[in-house]
Every structure is written in C-alpha cells, then in structure tokens.
Structure 1
C-alpha cells in the first residue's frame, strides 16, 4: 500500500512540475520566446565589461525584441544588488514605458512615424550597469 501511495505521490509531483505557465508582466511590453539567430546591435558596458546583444524586427505596429547578455539572469526580485542579475528599463521616445524582466518581449501598438527605443540594463537595486542600447524604428 505504501508503494502505491509513494508512486502516486511521485506521479502527481512530476505532473505539476511540467507546466508551461509563465507569469506575464503588465504594460505594453509582452514577453515572448527567445531564439536569437543574429545580432544587429552590440554595445559594451564601459565599467562592467558586459555586452548587450539586441535583435529586433518590426511587424505592423509591433516591435519584436530579443536581448542577450552573457552571464546575466533577468530577475523580478528587487532589493539586494547581485552582480549578473537584474532587469531593463524600456524607453520609447525618451519616456520610460516599462520595466522588462524577460530576455524577449514585444512593444505593441506604436503609432505611425519614427520612434526612438532605448533599453538600459539595471541591477536588482536599480543601480545602473552603464549599459544602454538606443535605436530608431519607423512604423508605416
């Protein structure tokens, strides 16, 4: 009887661990699965020695963005400064629009015209890595 109970318990634990549910941040930026095939922008942090690789493409009024920072973990947690962990601030037309806690996301519903997009890498305690990438997109 104990064997059956343990087998059932292990089966239930393994099934609950196999979920694909991931938390979604609120705001205009929506996370997406990452698959970097090429990097079209590279910028090195002057003081940290880190690099930020950004790949983006425009589809309609949406900008799909994929980021890669070697030896870096995107984190939702705030507080203690941990080197190699943190998040990004997203700026559209020089206004902070969102905090990004995932490596890939979508900026949805940009108006027609040219927009300046910036990403700034930050530690968990909001101190800067001194790593920022800025580029322009034109929505037709």
Structure 2
C-alpha cells in the first residue's frame, strides 16, 4: 500500500507542476500581421520562380480587382524597361525569356487608366 500511495503522490505533484501559468509567448501572431497588412490599402507582394527560360510570377495586392472590364484592373509588365504585356490575373508566366540578366517591373493600374501607385521590380537571371 505505501508504494501505491507514493506513486499516487508523485502523480499529483507532476500534475500540479504541469498546470503552471508559465506559457511561452508566441513569437509571431500571424493574425495581427495579416490584419495590419489588410488594413493598408496600398501593398503589393510578389513571388517569382525561374524555371528554364520561363518566369512564374504571383502577385498579391490589397483590394485590387484583377479583371477585365470597367471596374477591373491589370498589371503592366515591363522587361528591361519595355512594356511587353498587360495581364489581368494575379498569377501568370513570362515564357521564353532570353538568356541573361533581366529587370522585370510590375505596375498595377486600373482599366480606366488610373495609376494605383503599387509596383514591384526585381531581377532574374536566365541560364
């Protein structure tokens, strides 16, 4: 019986120790970060990936309507300072980019010509 009591006491001591209020603080609260980004109506996040001679591009923009039509908007795509395309989707691909180092600039504009002020520029190297 004493052995059983000792085991029971150790169990309760361990249980009480585990119930402390020392909780580690979260390193990043993603909800607050997402909320802060969403509250700013002028942000643009761009990811890109080079695969061979193609460049995959994905854009995330706050409150921007990627669509054709009167109330929509598009991306003006520039390669080395020359406008090469207007894209109406948030994700797209530049195919057949020549070998070498290139500057790509993305500029978001509304279809009525109004400039949003949102743009992003990056360089890619095509092997």
Match of 1:136 among 108, 119, 123: 123
Q: Residues 56-105 of structure 1, C-alpha deviation per residue, up to 9 Å, x if partnerless?
A: 00000000000111222211114xxx4xx411100001000000100100
CA distance in 2, matches of 1:71, 1:49: 6
What runs of 5+ residues in structure 1 fail to find an aligned partner?
Answer: 1-43
Q: Residues 98-135 of structure 1, C-alpha deviation per residue, up to 9 Å, x if partnerless?
A: 00100100000011100000000101211211111001
Alignment of 1:1-140 (within 5 A): 49-78=41-70, 82=71, 85-140=72-127
SS of equivalent to 2:62: coil
CA distance in 1, matches of 2:111, 2:93: 22
Segments of 4+ in structure 1 off by > 2 A?
Answer: none
CA RMSD of aligned residues (A): 1.7
Bigger Rg over Cα = 2
Structure with higher helix content: 2
CA distance in 2, matches of 1:134, 1:71: 20
Size of the aligned set, in residue pairs, is 89
Structure with higher RCO (Cα < 8 A, 6+ apart): 1
Name the TM-score, length of structure 2 as normaliser: 0.65
What runs of 5+ residues in structure 2 fail to find an aligned partner?
Answer: 1-36
